[in-house]
Amino acid sequence: MLHTPKWGAGLSIVLRSLPALLTSPIVAIVAPNVLARIISPDTPFESLKVFLALPAAVQAAAFWISYVVFRTIVQHYQRRADRRRLGADVVEVPRVKMAWPWNLDLIPLAIQSRKTDYCGAPWDRFAREYGYTFNLGMFGKDQIMTFEPENIKAILSTDFNSYEKGPAFREKMKGVLGQGVFNADGDMWKFHRGMSRPYFSRDRISHFDNFARHSDVTISKILSRLNEPARLGLPAAVDFQDAVARFTLDSGTEFLFGQSVRSLEAPLPYPYEAPNDDSSSFTAAFAGAQDLMMNRLVSRDLWPWMELFSDHSKEQMKVINSYVTPILKRKLEEARARGLDSNSKATSEDTDPNGSQEAGDTLLDHLIRITDDISVIKDELINILIAARDTTAATLTFAVYILAENPQIMTKLRDEVLGRLGTSNHPTPNDFKEMKYLRALLNETLRLFPPVPINERTAMKSTVLHSGGKKYYVPAGATMPYSVLHMHRRKDLWGPDAEEFDPERWLDERLNKYLTPNPFIFLPFNAGPRICIGQQFAYNEASYFLSRLVQRVESLELVPEAHPDGTLPPSEWKSGAGRKVYEKIWPKSHLTIYSDGGLWVKMKEASPVSE
């Protein structure tokens, strides 16, 4: 029986790269033969005679070295001419110097760092040595990383048209994100953003019934678990990160699809036990897909070779699609039954800018009004779902981590919430406007633990970054990673206490001293034309959950003994430098930040108070 070959995600990329890879060895092999045919045996040049008498392998090696040197010289002068064209005072970005050729040792360094060190640790080291903008230079290519607000502002806003996600980034993410809004450029990006943006209107994201339903279920489930009789040998604790991921998944799927995945119906895991229900498989698939995308980003040009005959995203996407696709197909069939054929589709431009469609509309209903292309709709839904679930879950996880570590912050937050809402009233948008400390707490969480710590763009044309009085050359095709995680913790931008968690900095003179004159030092939701369309939704959801939590809980405490082995910070962090000396959990990131091993806590339920 013949077996159909399995083509991997990286095969087409490798095949497209072969001409460039094979040019120099082909020249090295063919050139000596051509030279031997055109050179007369009685040539007066003795050096040529000696060369042609050498073994073929030596001749090929000599030609290959000569070709590489010649090409390098030509590229050097072309690059210099391109740089000078942009200005006589434009200079190269400082290049990181590593031990291996083409800085290839950066790849194992980055991979190992993700496993054993603090989030983004290698880039801290390079910033100390080279400044806040440096060129990683892997594979001899430009990867210009920056923590400078001026540069990030240019990339995201003032020089927006010079930067895109880029073809290499899109290839890495295609297996998971498809052509959705987070993995599209140009007209495709405008189309996707135009489809989704009207749905996130102020009226719609202020409908709090969804938040109320799922937050109350989540909090009750947490407290119920903590009130159970202690299992023999197990600490009394609940994984808050897991619980809040279920909350954002259920509320997100209901908001987007009109149908919750109902992950909160499954039992919460006990310490040292992995959840094994269907909804946990869905959650694990989301995390696995993000891990894969991050591994591809870290591996750079090597990732296609690792997936020549496999697609590492296939298993995760099979689980995700098993939930999304049936809902999508059913909705499309219902739309067709109502007579919404392709001739009666709305366009993204025709959509009410306030997003006010029929009562009860979901994002899926909204998208079906615009297109019946199942692939386009599915890509957009998965993109928005990843953002809706993971960013808010990360913010809530780290906010509760801080509250557990800082009882005085918990007390102040409770005082504000109870003073405004009492112990049972549900919050409204007007309440959030008045609860300044709650917003300060969320902003401080987003500052120190931004949901997407590192992002990147690609320079589509040669341009210049203006930074610290210097003009840095950015060649066309350069990859541009930028880290808001590192920028948010810079002491020169935020003050000497930048690495400390202090919500008061959003309420006292430090706000006007640091942020007000330089707003681009705080970018948890990106900026410019691609700013997060769900920013206010995320603030509302996180604010709602925290308000309801502190109404019912008067204190929180970390339970480190409930963490799986190897997921707590190493003891040597305490004698290190930077934010890691404070940490009691291990922040890591795939596309979004998370606490390794979960966030195991116990809570003291507030005593009932008559109002």
- Domains in the chain (CATH in brackets) are 1-85 (no CATH), 143-158+453-523 (no CATH), 161-451+530-579+587-605 (1.10.630.10)
Answer yes or no: are the C-beta atoms of 600 and 239 closer than 8 Å: yes
Mean pLDDT by 10-residue block, N- to C-terminus, for the chain (611 residues)? Answer: 64 90 83 78 71 82 87 95 97 96 91 90 95 95 97 98 96 92 94 87 72 96 92 87 95 89 90 75 84 87 91 91 88 79 48 43 88 91 88 97 98 98 96 98 99 96 92 98 98 98 98 98 97 93 98 98 95 91 94 94 85 54
- Feature table: binding site: 532
Per the annotation, where are the binding residues for heme?
532
CA 403 to chain CA mean position, Å = 25
Q: Give the integer Cα–Cα distance in Å for 319 and 220.
A: 28
Report the run of H or E that residue 593 belongs to, with start and end. strand 593-595
| Residues ≥6 apart with Cβ < 8 Å to 307 | 8, 9, 10, 11
Q: What is the DSSP string of 298-339?
A: HHGGGHHHHTSS--TTHHHHHHHHHHHHHHHHHHHHHHHHTT
CA distance 255 to 210: 7
User: What pTM was computed for the model?
Assistant: 0.91
3-state secondary structure of 458: strand
486 HSE (CA, 13 A, CB side): 25
Structure-token pair, residue 452? 């997407």
State the pLDDT at residue 52.
75
Q: What is the pLDDT of residue 277?
A: 67
pLDDT of residue 195: 87
What is the predicted pLDDT for the residue at 360? 52
Q: Which of 344, 331, 298 is nearest to 138 (CA)?
A: 298
Residues 6+ away with beta carbon under 8 Å from 603? 222, 223, 226, 238, 553, 555, 556, 557
Strand ranges across the sheet with 238-239: 238-239, 600-605, 553-558
pLDDT score of 291: 86
* Distance from C-alpha of 493 to C-alpha of 132, rounded to nearest angstrom: 12
| 8 Å CB contact between 157 and 165 | no
Both tokens of 309, joined, read 């005959």
Q: What is d(CA 325, CA 483) in angstroms, rounded to the nearest whole number? A: 34
DSSP secondary structure code for residue 154 in this structure? I
